[in-house]
Amino acid sequence: MANHKVVCWDCGCDVDDPFVNTCPKCGGLLTVKMDLEPVKEMRPEDLRKEPIGVWRYAPFLPVDYDKRVSIKEGGTPLYRTDALAAECGIGELHVKYEGANPTGSFKDRGMTIGVSHAVELGAKVVGCASTGNTSASLAAYASKAGIRCAVFLPSGKVAAGKLAQAMFFGAKVISVDGNFDDALRLAREMAEERSLYLLNSINPYRPEGQKSVLFEIMDQLAYDVPDRIILPVGNAANIWAVYKAVKELEEVGWIDKIPMLTGIQAEGAAPVARAFKDKDKDFVPEEHPETVATAIRIGNPVSGRKALHAIYDTGGYSTTVTDDEILAAQKMLGRREGVGVEPASAASVAGAKKLREMGIIDKDERVVCICTGNALKDPDTIIAHSDPVCQCPNDVAAVRKILLG
């Protein structure tokens, strides 16, 4: 017996066709409804036989543990970052370092579920549109599953590390003349004619795996719920996934407090933050999203309405940060904590700093920033914004001059 069903988030009807990505009746967004009755008999300790990682939380997941396509995703460190906390003036600050996933971003959490489900359905070709990390992750999991993979990328706007990964894992890489939103439209059309099984986060199975980042944070904090969790928001599935995990833990009685979910966007790609500012439940898409944080360079976020619901329902917040603030936060995390993240990930830290300055974050708050991807994903941005290397003749006197002045 399946432990879940797919339902329409908007009209609530059951959706039985596994190949649709929107509600056949109302066109609404889909979501997975888990049957958590068996989990209500359990305690967090009961899951600890399995090492920390996505599959520790199998009773919360819509795929059988025995049918998993896994490369041991999740189980990422939660750093207590006291130097960063002092810099931001925040009481207690932690960084959940998603760059430590197998392909270097949190996307692996969703892909282990998405690709396992695709294999269950008998899919032979999987595909996605991507700003880079989704394609890197999907390509790796398709390899592990032994199925084919096609990825649609916005031309010229994908960070080098991510593009290299998709190519390396053997995906068919299609570079689209247009932005991410255009690439997604094409991928969705191919999925509608059943030429591929779509694994963008509009697929309701992916956020199910992404819930695990919240489960892990709770485990790592011994279920002492933080006041606030801050994430970068692009296509907006991750903040929705974290929200869903919070609600599920509340449903099974493992937590009795809800963290304020806080979504940060780049100033040049901020439909969700703008809607929040206007207290709207829906957002206005942006035609020309632009930011150095390419992973969140998205103007028409698929899960934008879900993200807004997550933010409002938890008493959270949303705001924007500039590219300069993002790059400064990225550098601060590297120089003060030895943690290397890509620009989009640093938006959460930049947001923490800004919201503290605005007085939205209280000085005594316990805050977790989710840092979504690894610094090595985007070496070009780092090199462009770092001090130049010291060119040196092959000679010890010259070295001495450089080092000692």
Ligand X SMILES: *Cc1c(COP(=O)(O)O)cnc(C)c1O
81 vs 330 by CB, closer to ligand X: 330
Evaluate whether 93 touches 85 at the Cβ level (below 8 Å).
yes
Instruction: Quote the least distance from Cβ 210 to ligand X, whole Å.
Output: 7
290 vs 362 by CB, closer to ligand X: 290
Torsion from C-alpha of 51, 53, 58, 61, nearest 10 degrees: 180
Which long-range contacts (C-beta less than 8 Å, at least 24 apart) are formed by 391-394?
A: none
Evaluate whether 320 touches 272 at the Cβ level (below 8 Å).
no
243 vs 252 by CB, closer to ligand X: 243
Residue whose tokens read 């991507």 = 130
Q: Are strands 125-129 and 197-198 parallel, antiparallel or unpaired?
A: parallel
Instruction: Quote the least distance from Cβ 201 to ligand X, whole Å.
Output: 6
Instruction: Quote the least distance from Cβ 37 to ligand X, whole Å.
Output: 29
47 vs 325 by CB, closer to ligand X: 325
Please give the backbone phi and psi of residue 95, each rounded to the nearest 5 degrees, phi first.
Answer: -120, 125
Residue 207 to residue 200: CA distance in whole angstroms: 10
99 vs 252 by CB, closer to ligand X: 99
- Buried-state track 109-135, b at ≥16 Cβ within 10 A, e below 16: bbbbbbbbbbbeeebebbbbbbbbbbb
User: Mapping DSSP to helix (H, G, I), strand (E, B) and coil, where does residue 228 land?
Assistant: strand
Helix (H) or strand (E) holding 7: strand 4-8
On the CB side of 118, how many CA atoms lie within 13 Å of its CA? 31
With CB atoms as reference, the residue minimizing the distance to ligand X is 373
Tell which residue, 127, 105, 133, has the closest CA to residue 114: 127
Residue 285 identity (one-letter amino acid): P
Instruction: Quote the least distance from Cβ 178 to ligand X, whole Å.
Output: 18
Structure tokens at 126: 């999987």
Instruction: Quote the least distance from Cβ 348 to ligand X, whole Å.
Output: 9
70 vs 101 by CB, closer to ligand X: 101
Residues of the shown chain interacting with ligand X in the complex, contacts defined by CB under 6 A: 105, 107, 133, 201, 232-238, 295-296, 342, 344-345, 372-373
Instruction: Pinpoint the alpha helices (H) of 75-153.
Output: 82-88, 107-120, 133-145
70 vs 238 by CB, closer to ligand X: 238
Instruction: Quote the least distance from Cβ 121 to ligand X, whole Å.
Output: 23
Tell which residue, 124, 184, 123, has the closest CA to residue 153: 184
Instruction: Quote the least distance from Cβ 111 to ligand X, whole Å.
Output: 11
158 vs 260 by CB, closer to ligand X: 158
Instruction: Quote the least distance from Cβ 237 to ligand X, whole Å.
Output: 4
Instruction: Quote the least distance from Cβ 264 to ligand X, whole Å.
Output: 10
149 vs 344 by CB, closer to ligand X: 344
Helix (H) or strand (E) holding 126: strand 125-129
